[in-house]
Amino acid sequence: MTLEEALRELDALQKKISAYDHALGLLSYDGLTGAPKGTAANRAQSTGVLSEELYRLQTGPETAELLQCLEESGAALDRKTQRTVYLLGKSIRQMRCIPVEEYVAWQRLLVEADDVWHTAKERSDWPLFAPVLERVFGTVKRFAGYCAPEKDPYDYWLNEFEEGTDRARCDEFFDALHAGIVPLLERVRTKPQPDCTVLRGTFPVEAQERFSRRLMELIGLDLDHVGLATTEHPFTTSLGSHLDERITTHYHTDDFASSMFSVIHEGGHALYDTGSAEELAWTVLDGGVSMGIHESQSRFYENILGRSRAFSAYIFPVAAEYFPSLRDYSAEDFYRAVNRAEPGLIRIEADELTYALHIMVRYALEKRVMAGELAVAELPGEWNRLYKEYLGVDVPDDRSGVLQDSHWSGGAVGYFPSYALGSAYGAQLLRKMRETVDVDACLRRGDFAPINEWLRARIWQHGCLYTPAELFRNAVDEPFDPGAFIAYLTEKYTDLYDL
Ligand code: ZN
């Protein structure tokens, strides 16, 4: 095979992989959004067949020969192709480690686990969910052993979600956050809480839906390429390439801010994905490079921009067009209410200050289950104990406790630390961005273009061309520094609570 032929085949292979991913992604998305309740088994059947075909395509002899030819060409390849061959080779080598029948069973298990989790959460029925979660953890651990027998299984999965991360790095990072956040939170708790009545009232779903569209346009999403649906747990997914992005939200009629910040959060993910350079579509370099960098974008939009005083000044009068009860309040009332720092039960509704504590609970539990130090059956009890210890709250039922998140039923063990890393990356991005962009002035006039352009140039357009650490370092011109996040929180909450 000549190099020219190999490059043509590489292009065709990536397009085929994208097509399978597109179909599988759409099946999963349908299951999570509009599909009727009784259709999970039907989707599991099709998912099984397509996953097996995809597995055979990627692990077959033709692909092996192609990759070998390209790997041997090494230095003759441009940087983009080298990185493509590296990432494709890595994922295929990992796949080959997993026996095909186990890989297919895993895909089916995920469909089943998601279905059971929905019912279990609805009924707050932990015993219904526990056996399937046991199988998820068992499989995750077994797969790590197949792919990297020399590695600790939890380290393996942490590194899968954020290249370069392991328990030692996470322990150090969370210790730094704990040391910065806990004393700050203690000082905040000695102060009176802001009046939050601005957030209370009745907010019809129909008005919230129209407001969601307005927010999506405002932050710069192209609605011809980004769709919105409703689900129990908000998420973002790309279908086939960055040209078709779907985000979801959840509406509460007594609380418009919940969906508002979900839409901005998921919108941040979608901005990142859809910001990939055009030529990366249908390649393995398309879309976000890691979950940590992904969360740095979503949490940047949701919190650093979305919950800023400058953006509140702009968005509050806009929100009052949709929700007339807001007219009795000021933008400053809204700003203070949406930044009320108070330990609570639900991660996705946590404020910026306590959020990382929710992540620390999940990190501590995952780490112990993966190490075999904690049985899945013991999770609710330990969850409740750690919520009391870290956040000082009593968990009344498993629905608002251990059953609240979809990550474990989705097989995403090792994902949670990405949220906290993302928050910390975001604060450092802000510090750097402020050297050249007047962020507050942009937000006060509702103009996201200069902010989006800065991120597009430094983060989005590169897709997976660099490792997360390289990408981040190039973006901020210095190594990762969690101190930027502590400084950001300290400044914000000192002002808010007059500490
Ligand atoms: Zn997210």
* pLDDT tops 90 at residue 1: no
What is the Cα–Cα distance from 371 to 447, expressed in whole angstroms?
Answer: 48
Give tens-digit pLDDT for 9-19.
999 999 999 99
Distance 418 CA to ligand 1 centre (A): 9
> What is the predicted pLDDT for the residue at 94?
86
Cα dihedral: 357, 359, 360, 365 (round 10): 140
> What is the predicted pLDDT for the residue at 233?
83
Cβ 280 vs Cβ 235: under 8 Å: no
Per-residue confidence at 95, pLDDT binned at 50, 70, 90? confident
> What is the predicted pLDDT for the residue at 251?
97
> What is the predicted pLDDT for the residue at 307?
98
* pLDDT tops 90 at residue 387: yes
* pLDDT tops 90 at residue 249: yes
* pLDDT tops 90 at residue 75: no
> What is the predicted pLDDT for the residue at 368?
97
Per-residue confidence at 232, pLDDT binned at 50, 70, 90? confident
Per-residue confidence at 100, pLDDT binned at 50, 70, 90? confident
Nearby residues of 432 by Cβ (< 8 Å), 6 or more positions away: 475, 476, 477
Distance 298 CA to ligand 1 centre (A): 6
Q: Per-residue pLDDT averaged across 390-416, rounded?
A: 96
Cβ 190 vs Cβ 342: under 8 Å: no
**What are the structure tokens assigned to 12, written together?**
């065709």
Distance 12 CA to ligand 1 centre (A): 31
Q: pTM for the full model?
A: 0.90
Residue % of the chain over a pLDDT of 90 = 92
Q: Per-residue pLDDT averaged across 146-159, rounded?
A: 96
- The string of DSSP codes covering 92-135 is HHHHHHS-HHHHHHHHHHHHHHHHHHHHHHHHT-HHHHHHHHHH
Distance 323 CA to ligand 1 centre (A): 26
> What is the predicted pLDDT for the residue at 255?
95
* 435 catalytic per annotation: no
Which listed residue (160, 162, 245, 266) is catalytic? 266
Distance 250 CA to ligand 1 centre (A): 14
Edge-to-edge strands, sheet with 226-230? 226-230, 241-249, 236-239
Give tens-digit pLDDT for 440-467.
999 999 999 999 999 999 999 999 999 9
Distance 288 CA to ligand 1 centre (A): 12
* pLDDT tops 90 at residue 320: yes
